[in-house]
Amino acid sequence: MDMEKYGTGNGPAKALVENVRRVIRGKDEQVTLAVVALLSGGHLLVEDVPGVGKTMLARSLALSIHGTYRRIQFTPDLLPSDVTGTVIYNQKAADFEFKPGPIFANVVLADEINRATPRTQSSLLEAMDEGQVTADGTTYPLPRPFFVIATQNPVEYHGTYPLPEGQLDRFCMSLTLGYPSAEVEREIVEAQLLEHPVNALGPVLEADDIPALQKRVREVTVHPDVLSYAVELVRSTREGEGFHLGSSPRGTIFLVRTAQARAFLESRDFVTPDDVKALAIPVLAHRVIPSARSRALSEARRLIQEVLERVPVPVL
C-alpha cells in the first residue's frame, strides 16, 4: 500500500490507530498504547481477565498492517522448538533443514504465556531482544516488523509459572484492557449479532511500511532536559522507598522511545515532559518489584505514580 497518500507526516500511524479502534471499542487509550509499542520497536504484555479483547487486539493490528499473524497457546507441555522451530532431516534432499515455528510472523500472540514452563518462556528471549532465532548453531532472522503481544490472567495462578524479571524486561510496556462500560458493551454485542467486525477489517498500510514509521519515530527530537527527566524517574525506582527492585536501563530506553512515538502520533516533532509522564506507568510498572515482593501490577503502578508526583517536571 502506497504510503505517499498519507504524506510525509504521521498519517499512516493515525490511520492504523483508527482502524484498530473499529474493532476494539471503548478502549481508545489502550489501542493508542499498543500502536505506540509497535512504533517504538518494542513488545506488549497484556494482563487481564479472559474475554476483554486481548486476542482481537492482536488480530486487528495484524490485519491493519497486512502482516502475518500467529497465535501460540502456551501450555505446560509446550516445548521451545514448538515456538521457534526445529531442524529436521529431509530425505529427498538427504540433508537437514530448518522448519520455522509460529514465531516467524509479523504479529505473534503469546496467549497465556505464564502457563508454559520457564524453559519454554525463555525461548522468546533471543527473538524479542535481537529479532532472530538460533537453531542448531545457525541464526535465522525474523520478519520485520516483529511484534509480540503476550497475555496472562491476573486472577488464576494455579498451574502457572510467573515470568522472571529478565523476561518481563523484554516487554516495552504492560497494560490492561478492563471491562467496557454498559453503553460500549451494548455496542459490542450489537456489532457482533451477524458476524465479528474483525472479519470485515481491511489493511490501511503494509507490514513493510512499519520499519519506515519506526525510523521516523526515532527522529523525533528529545530535549536534554526531557531526557534527564526520564532518567531521573527511572533512577528513583532504584533509590526510592517502597521498591525492592528498580527498573533497568532498558526501561529508560523504552520510556524515551515510547515518548517519541506518542509525540509522533500527536503530530509533534519533539517530546514533552507530559509524553514521558503519560508513559511512565505502562513502561515501568512491570519492571519493578515493590518492597512487599508483591507481583500485583496495581501496587507497582501506585509506586510509579508516587515517583511521578515526587520528581520535579522540567519547564522547557
The pTM score is 0.90
Report, as an integer, the average pLDDT of 286-310: 84
The secondary structure of 92-133 as a DSSP string is: TTTEEEEEE-TT-SSEEEEETGGGS-HHHHGGGHHHHHHSEE
Domain ranges of the chain: 1-215, 219-310
Compute the CA torsion angle 291, 276, 216, 21 (nearest 10 deg).
90
End-to-end CA distance of the chain: 39
Considering only the top CATH level, what class is 1-215?
alpha beta
213, pLDDT greater than 70:
yes
pLDDT tens digits along 117-159: 999 998 899 999 999 998 888 899 999 999 999 998 877 667 7
Q: Which amino acid is at 39?
A: L
Selecting from 3.30.499.10, 1.10.8.80, 3.30.450.20, 3.40.718.10, what CATH number does the domain 219-310 have? 1.10.8.80
Coil vs helix vs strand at 139:
strand
- Give residue 295's pLDDT band: very low, low, confident or very high (50, 70, 90): low
Tell me what the pLDDT averaged over the chain comes to. 89
Find the radius of gyration of the CA atoms of the chain: 20
pLDDT tens digits along 33-78: 999 999 999 999 998 888 888 899 999 999 999 999 999 999 999 9
How many other β-carbons are positioned within 10 Å of the β-carbon of residue 62? 24
- Counts for the chain of helices (H) and strands (E), in that order: 13, 11
pLDDT tens digits along 151-186: 988 776 677 888 888 889 999 999 998 888 999 999
Cell 504479529 sits on residue: 107
Are the folds of 1-215 and 219-310 the same?
no
Do 70 and 109 form a contact (C-beta atoms < 8 A)?
yes
